[in-house]
Chain A
Amino acid sequence: MSRDELLEFDEVVAAFDPVIGLEVHVELATLTKMFCACSTRFGAAPNSQVCPVCLGLPGSLPQVNGQAVESSIRIGLALGCSIATWCRFSRKNYFYPDMTKNYQVSQYDEPLCYDGSVEVDVDGELITVPIERAHMEEDAGKSVHVGSLTGRIEGAEYSLMDYNRGGVPLVEIVTKPVLGTGAGAPAVARAYVATLRDIVRALGVSDVRMEQGSLRCDANVSLMAKGTTTLGTRTETKNLNSLKSIEKAVRYEMCRQGAILAAGGRIKQETRHWHEDGSYTAAGRSKEEAEDYRYFPEPDLVPVAPSREWVEALRATIPAPPRERLAALREQWGFAEPEMRDVAAADAVDLVAATIAAGAAPQAARKWWMSELMRRANAAGLGLADLAITPAAVAQVQGLIDEGRLNDKVAREVIDAVLAGEGTPREIVDARGLAVILDTSALQAAVDAQIAGHPDVAERIRAGKTQAVGVLIGAVMKQLGGQADAASVRALILATLEG
Chain B
Amino acid sequence: MSSLTSLTAARLAALIRTGEVSSEEVTRAHLDQIAAVDDRVHAFLHVDTDRALEVARRVDAKRRAGAPLGPLAGVPVAVKDLFAYVGAPTTCGSRMLENWCPPYNAAVTERVLAADMVILGKTNLDEFAMGSSTETSAFGPTHNPWDLARVPGGSGGGSAAALAALEAPVALGSDTGGSIRQPAAVTGTVGIKPTYGGVSRYGAVAMASSLDQPGPCARTVLDAALLHQVIGGYDPRDATSIDAPVPDVVAAAQSPDVAGMKIGVVKEFGGEGFEPGVERRFHEAVAALAGAGAEIVEVSCPYFPLALGAYYLIMPSEVSSNMARFDAMRYGRRVGDDGTRSVEDVMRASRGAGFGAEVKRRIILGTYALSSGYYDAYYGSAQKVRTLIIQDFRAAFSTVDVLMSPSTPTTAIRIGEPLTDLMAGYKADLCTIPSNLAGIPAGSFPAGLSDNGLPVGVQVMAPVLADDRVYRVGSALEALLEPRFAPLTKEAR
Chain B: which residue is nearest A290 at the CB level? B372
Which residues of B (311-356) have their CB < 8 Å from a CB of A? 317-318, 320-321, 324-327, 329-331, 343-344, 347
> Is B370 within 8 A of A59, CB to CB?
no
> Is B343 within 8 A of A58, CB to CB?
no
User: Please, how many angstroms separate the alpha-carbon atoms of A102 and B321 in the complex?
Assistant: 8
* CB contact between B324 and one of A64, A95, A292, A296 (< 8 Å): that residue: A95
> Is A63 within 8 A of B104, CB to CB?
no
User: Please, how many angstroms separate the alpha-carbon atoms of A364 and B338 in the complex?
Assistant: 65
> Is B371 within 8 A of A294, CB to CB?
yes
> Is B209 within 8 A of A57, CB to CB?
no
User: Please, how many angstroms separate the alpha-carbon atoms of A64 and B236 in the complex?
Assistant: 10
User: Please, how many angstroms separate the alpha-carbon atoms of A95 and B348 in the complex?
Assistant: 11
> Is A100 within 8 A of B325, CB to CB?
yes
* CB contact between A57 and one of B83, B324, B331 (< 8 Å): that residue: B331
Chain A: which residue is nearest B331 at the CB level? A57
B100 nearest CB across to chain A (Å): 7
> Is B202 within 8 A of A61, CB to CB?
yes
Complex interface: chain A residues within 8 A of B240 (CB): 299-302
Complex interface: chain B residues within 8 A of A300 (CB): 206, 209, 239-240
Chain A, interface size category, equals: 20 to 34
In the complex with contacts A52-B104, A299-B318, A300-B239, A58-B372 CB distance below 8 A: no
> Is B103 within 8 A of A93, CB to CB?
no
> Is B239 within 8 A of A294, CB to CB?
no
> Is A61 within 8 A of B239, CB to CB?
yes
> Is B106 within 8 A of A294, CB to CB?
no
Complex interface: chain A residues within 8 A of B205 (CB): 58-59
Chain B: which residue is nearest A293 at the CB level? B372
* CB contact between B327 and one of A93, A95, A159 (< 8 Å): that residue: A95
Complex interface: chain A residues within 8 A of B208 (CB): 299
User: Please, how many angstroms separate the alpha-carbon atoms of A207 and B286 in the complex?
Assistant: 67
Which residues of B (103-117) have their CB < 8 Å from a CB of A? 103-104, 106
Chain A: which residue is nearest B197 at the CB level? A302
Q: Does B137 contact A (CB under 8 A)?
A: no
Offer 28 A-B interface pairs, CB within 8 angstroms, sorted by A: A52-B103, A57-B331, A58-B84, A58-B102, A58-B206, A58-B326, A59-B84, A59-B102, A59-B202, A59-B204, A61-B237, A93-B321, A93-B324, A93-B370, A95-B324, A95-B347, A97-B327, A102-B325, A103-B321, A161-B329, A292-B372, A294-B320, A296-B317, A296-B318, A296-B321, A296-B375, A299-B209, A299-B240
Complex interface: chain A residues within 8 A of B210 (CB): 299
Q: Does B201 contact A (CB under 8 A)?
A: yes
Q: Does A62 contact B (CB under 8 A)?
A: yes
Q: Does A376 contact B (CB under 8 A)?
A: no
Interface residues of chain B: helix, strand, loop or mixed (majority) = loop
The 10 closest A-B pairs by CB, nearest first: A102-B324, A299-B210, A294-B370, A299-B209, A58-B205, A59-B203, A101-B325, A59-B205, A56-B325, A301-B239
Complex interface: chain B residues within 8 A of A61 (CB): 201-202, 237-239
Which residues of A (98-127) have their CB < 8 Å from a CB of B? 100-103
User: Please, how many angstroms separate the alpha-carbon atoms of A167 and B331 in the complex?
Assistant: 19
> Is B239 within 8 A of A64, CB to CB?
yes
User: Please, how many angstroms separate the alpha-carbon atoms of A289 and B142 in the complex?
Assistant: 44
B214 nearest CB across to chain A (Å): 11
In the complex with contacts A60-B202, A302-B239, A296-B100 CB distance below 8 A: no
A2 nearest CB across to chain B (Å): 26
Complex interface: chain B residues within 8 A of A311 (CB): none
Which residues of B (76-105) have their CB < 8 Å from a CB of A? 82-84, 90, 92, 97, 100, 102-104
Extra inter-chain contacts (5) besides given A59-B106, A61-B238, A294-B320, CB under 8 Å:
A57-B104, A58-B205, A61-B201, A292-B371, A292-B372
Complex interface: chain B residues within 8 A of A349 (CB): none
List residues of chain B with CB under 8 Å of any chain A CB.
82-84, 90, 92, 97, 100, 102-104, 106, 201-206, 208-210, 236-240, 317-318, 320-321, 324-327, 329-331, 343-344, 347, 367, 370-372, 375, 379
B454 nearest CB across to chain A (Å): 34
B190 nearest CB across to chain A (Å): 25
> Is B237 within 8 A of A294, CB to CB?
no
Complex interface: chain A residues within 8 A of B375 (CB): 294, 296
B245 nearest CB across to chain A (Å): 19
* CB contact between A63 and one of B90, B237, B318 (< 8 Å): that residue: B237
Residue from B236, B238, B327 with most neighbouring chain A CB atoms (10 Å)? B327
A298 nearest CB across to chain B (Å): 8
Complex interface: chain A residues within 8 A of B203 (CB): 59-60
> Is B100 within 8 A of A58, CB to CB?
yes
Residue from B103, B321, B371 with most neighbouring chain A CB atoms (10 Å)? B321
User: Please, how many angstroms separate the alpha-carbon atoms of A301 and B209 in the complex?
Assistant: 10
Complex interface: chain B residues within 8 A of A95 (CB): 324, 327, 344, 347
Complex interface: chain B residues within 8 A of A64 (CB): 239
Chain B: which residue is nearest A93 at the CB level? B321
Complex interface: chain B residues within 8 A of A91 (CB): 321
Chain B: which residue is nearest A163 at the CB level? B330
Which residues of A (395-426) have their CB < 8 Å from a CB of B? none
Chain B: which residue is nearest A53 at the CB level? B237
User: Please, how many angstroms separate the alpha-carbon atoms of A59 and B318 in the complex?
Assistant: 14
> Is A58 within 8 A of B325, CB to CB?
yes
> Is A100 within 8 A of B330, CB to CB?
yes
Complex interface: chain B residues within 8 A of A62 (CB): 239
Q: Does A282 contact B (CB under 8 A)?
A: no
Q: Does A55 contact B (CB under 8 A)?
A: yes
Chain A: which residue is nearest B370 at the CB level? A294
Complex interface: chain A residues within 8 A of B344 (CB): 95
- Taken residue by residue from 72 to 107, chain A's Cβ proximity to chain B (1 for < 8 Å, 0 otherwise) reads as 000000000000000000010101010011110000
Complex interface: chain A residues within 8 A of B201 (CB): 61
User: Please, how many angstroms separate the alpha-carbon atoms of A429 and B344 in the complex?
Assistant: 62
Complex interface: chain B residues within 8 A of A295 (CB): 370
User: Please, how many angstroms separate the alpha-carbon atoms of A295 and B373 in the complex?
Assistant: 12
Chain B: which residue is nearest A52 at the CB level? B104
Chain B: which residue is nearest A94 at the CB level? B324
In the complex with contacts A61-B201, A61-B239, A294-B90 CB distance below 8 A: no
Complex interface: chain B residues within 8 A of A296 (CB): 317-318, 321, 370, 375, 379
Complex interface: chain A residues within 8 A of B237 (CB): 61, 63
Chain A: which residue is nearest B332 at the CB level? A58
Complex interface: chain A residues within 8 A of B321 (CB): 91, 93, 103, 294, 296
User: Please, how many angstroms separate the alpha-carbon atoms of A55 and B103 in the complex?
Assistant: 12
Complex interface: chain B residues within 8 A of A101 (CB): 324-325
User: Please, how many angstroms separate the alpha-carbon atoms of A52 and B86 in the complex?
Assistant: 13
In the complex with contacts A61-B202, A300-B209, A294-B84 CB distance below 8 A: no
Which residues of A (12-59) have their CB < 8 Å from a CB of B? 52, 55-59
User: Please, how many angstroms separate the alpha-carbon atoms of A129 and B201 in the complex?
Assistant: 44
User: Please, how many angstroms separate the alpha-carbon atoms of A410 and B194 in the complex?
Assistant: 81
> Is B92 within 8 A of A58, CB to CB?
yes
Complex interface: chain B residues within 8 A of A60 (CB): 104, 202-203
User: Please, how many angstroms separate the alpha-carbon atoms of A28 and B70 in the complex?
Assistant: 44
Complex interface: chain B residues within 8 A of A292 (CB): 371-372
User: Please, how many angstroms separate the alpha-carbon atoms of A93 and B367 in the complex?
Assistant: 10
User: Please, how many angstroms separate the alpha-carbon atoms of A102 and B102 in the complex?
Assistant: 19
B72 nearest CB across to chain A (Å): 23
Complex interface: chain A residues within 8 A of B379 (CB): 296
User: Please, how many angstroms separate the alpha-carbon atoms of A63 and B201 in the complex?
Assistant: 13
Chain A: which residue is nearest B203 at the CB level? A59
> Is B92 within 8 A of A103, CB to CB?
no
> Is B239 within 8 A of A97, CB to CB?
no
Chain A: which residue is nearest B210 at the CB level? A299
User: Please, how many angstroms separate the alpha-carbon atoms of A62 and B238 in the complex?
Assistant: 7
B326 nearest CB across to chain A (Å): 8
Complex interface: chain A residues within 8 A of B317 (CB): 296
B153 nearest CB across to chain A (Å): 23
Chain A: which residue is nearest B104 at the CB level? A52
Chain A: which residue is nearest B201 at the CB level? A61
A5 nearest CB across to chain B (Å): 33
Complex interface: chain B residues within 8 A of A58 (CB): 84, 90, 92, 97, 100, 102, 205-206, 325-326
In the complex with contacts A61-B239, A93-B370, A55-B327 CB distance below 8 A: no
